[in-house]
Structure 1
Amino acid sequence: MRKKLLLICIAILFIACHHARAQSGAIGFHVTMSEYDGDLNDNQHHFYDFNYKQVGGAVSLQQYLNPSFNLVEKVSFNQVRHQNDLATIGVDADFYTVNLKLKYKLNNGYLLKEEAAIAPFLVAGIGGTYIDSKQFVESSSSPITDGEVKANVAAGVGILFQFNDRVGLEVANTINAPLYDAWDGVDQGGNDLYLQHSAGLIFNLRKPRDVDNDGVADRKDKCADTPATAKVDSKGCPVDTDKDGVADYLDKCPMLAGTTTLAGCPDKDGDGVADGDDTCPDVPGATRFAGCPDTDGDGIEDSKDKCPNLAGLDIFQGCADGDSDGVEDSKDKCPNTEKGIKVDEVGCPADTDGDGVTDNLDACPTSKGEGSVNGCPEIKEEVKKRLNFATRGIAFENGKAVLKPSSFPMLNEVVSILEEYKDYKLKMGGHTDASGSNATNLTLSQARVESVKAYLVSKGVSEDRIEAVGYGEEQPIATNGTAAGRAQNRRVALELILK
């Protein structure tokens, strides 16, 4: 019968162990010692009276149900030995017990923290027991029971000392009440008890749930979403060595207290550039200059700015050009030059041709005016005479716009004059006498000045320097009543005018 019970216990243990693994449970191995409490001592409950020390053992399995309760299966072997005070009657009993119990944990988050290292508990349940007992007296030793299988009620208290997430020490006192009074040889109508004292190691069968894989079980983890690469403390929260509010795994300067905006690095000058990246760590500066200052705010850092306290330009290494003439103020002899005026190397209005009239006032800035008011060269009297002489020498075939060859030397003289006075343009007026109709004369006069213009252009004079207009008979300079007067009216008038 004992072998059968043992096989049953092993089978139950195997099934429960498999179930415990599937449910993330725990297994315990316990040493037990039991005390008698029944008819032989008049139910005086003399607990902790170890006159007859008998050692037993137990294996337990636990499944986590919720923070308050565990389900416990326990298979135990207990030996109980006791004699009455007169040593006239005694009992020596062996109990093979299987109990299913509910364990109430005080470390449920309400009374104590779930992760408490010292965790008291209450336990109660029912089961079955196989009883084998005999008389225990000096004079005789005869069987009392031989293989009785009875129900069993159990209740107790204990404390779990949790060393870590995997191992703990459990001590407990459990009262077992086999529902059979005669196992001690005395049947007085009540059920005799025995108190089981136990101490055992509890091993978690599965590693505690740790969703973020930081090494701290979820039930203890106060920061459940910590990256697996982060170093954490005992509560599962990221370590912040320098206590600056930036966790080490995010802190670029984990040993130096810094700011969150700079990933935990310090910025003693408060310019927004971390000291490690700040070329000027003791002086507030700009990010674009690696933390170095630009006092005048001109976009040039002070170390490269020749005028660090005065806003300036890059081309002048930070110095100013107040009148924007391209000459920095320190070299500008005319610092208030009107905007847009061309200046020389010292910032004064330029006089390109050196005639004493600045370019902004000089109508001929590239031609020396020889003291003229407008800066343009004045036409010499002899040139005027040459131009007038050339005018009288321009002749056409009668009634046509064809130049006579005799006109060519005169027109060549005009070309040379235009080359000498490049700032001037030539104004030509074509005139006829009153012979013929006015319309015919107007057409003829325009054709003749166009013919002159074409010749001058062929000699290299720019077309835009020539203004040619035919006036016909409208502007006579002599009478048309005589041949001599009509000859004077037939002419091409030439005049030099500024462009």
Structure 2
Amino acid sequence: MKLNLLKSMPVVLAGLFIGSVAQAQEPVTSTTKFRTWSVGVNAGALTPLSPLGGKNDFSNNKTSFGYGLYVKKQFTPYFSLRLDGVRGKLKGDNSEAYDSGLINNSPVRAFDTQLSYSGSLSAVVNMFNIDMFKKEDALQLFVSAGAGLAGYKPTITTAAGSSLYAGDKNIKELIIPVGVGAKFKLTDAVNLDLGWTINFVDGDNLDGVYKGTSNDKYNYAYAGLEYALGSGKQLAFHNPVALTYDEAVKAKQTADALKGDLDAQKAENAKLRSEMNDLLKDTDGDGVADKLDKCPGTPAGTVVDGSGCPLVVTKVTEKVIVTEADRAVVKEAIKNLEFDLGKATIRSKSFASLNRVAALLVEKNFSLKLAGHTDNTGSKALNLRLSKERAESVKAYLVSQGANASRIEATGYGMGQPIATNKTAAGRQQNRRVEFTIY
């Protein structure tokens, strides 16, 4: 049996290492600072038997006081490594019969073993959080397994009443501890620790009697306190499942809010388009919007004035001369022309320079071509419509100031004729324009 346990050690240690690496790969998505180191003290009952089967060398195994301490490193909410040390006594005798009724006729009447030390390194796995939707729990159930070394001194009492000692030196044997437990969080730094560990000894001399038929074993049931070192929350009670759930809920709430904003913007755009269509509506097609047309229903092809009324035109052939001063008036209007963002509404600061252009058109009877342009932000269809609406908006304003609608041509070119790069804010600003050409 001893040989089989020694052969199994590389497998046990490899399992601990692989488990720690696999668990450590689980990311903790919270920015909260965690406590990962802790120390614990405990005390409880040591008993030289196991409920998992196997015949004991003594028929009456007694419970004795034991105590221990440990240091633990928490790698993830589910996995940690724990270094334990335990001391105490193990006692038993043959004063009672076995459960089967058989009497132990061994020449040894009793034993008293001093457990000088028991040191082991175990992998501890937290089974689950009691409440999967709570980011931090107060109760953890765990299992553990590991390997270590025990040093002990057995003393036996013969049937004749004499005592025999194992000697001054400790007997050293490999142990395999397997345990279960529950941990209750009392504060951010203190936990109540309840546990039960079965220690399988790689030898048959823990009780001072060697029969060679089975290895000895002993239990340690304990209660104690664990102190988490550092500051912040304890990583062992952190629940990444609940944290992920909260993040998913927040992401959905953000998406719903963005969708609501988008729907509101769509409704606002639809309202603006309706208002613009009403503003530019020209039922009789004379170039004057219905809202400004004082003579609605003029026949097609009728030359009208700025108010939409028929204009008596005397055909006079004259040479149209555009001076530098005229071009300066137009240039100033272009420079000062501004619209509301994403709309065809002219801002009031542009009215003064537009009024001078209207006066120039009336005074010299010039013709004017308005060409609307946009940058490449948005769809092609949207930009084409917006550029057309802005050019028409300028025309409607000039006509309202007395300019001849039939001499003003408004065209939208969208984003197809940029004069600067659309890769910079300054370039896009230059591309959003309405060009004036007088002739």
* TM-score, normalised by the number of residues in structure 1: 0.39
**Greater fraction of residues in helix:** 2
Task: Tell me which of the two structures has the higher relative contact order, counting C-alpha pairs closer than 8 angstroms and 6 or more residues apart.
Answer: 2
Highest CA radius of gyration, 1 or 2?
Answer: 1
* TM-score, normalised by the number of residues in structure 2: 0.43
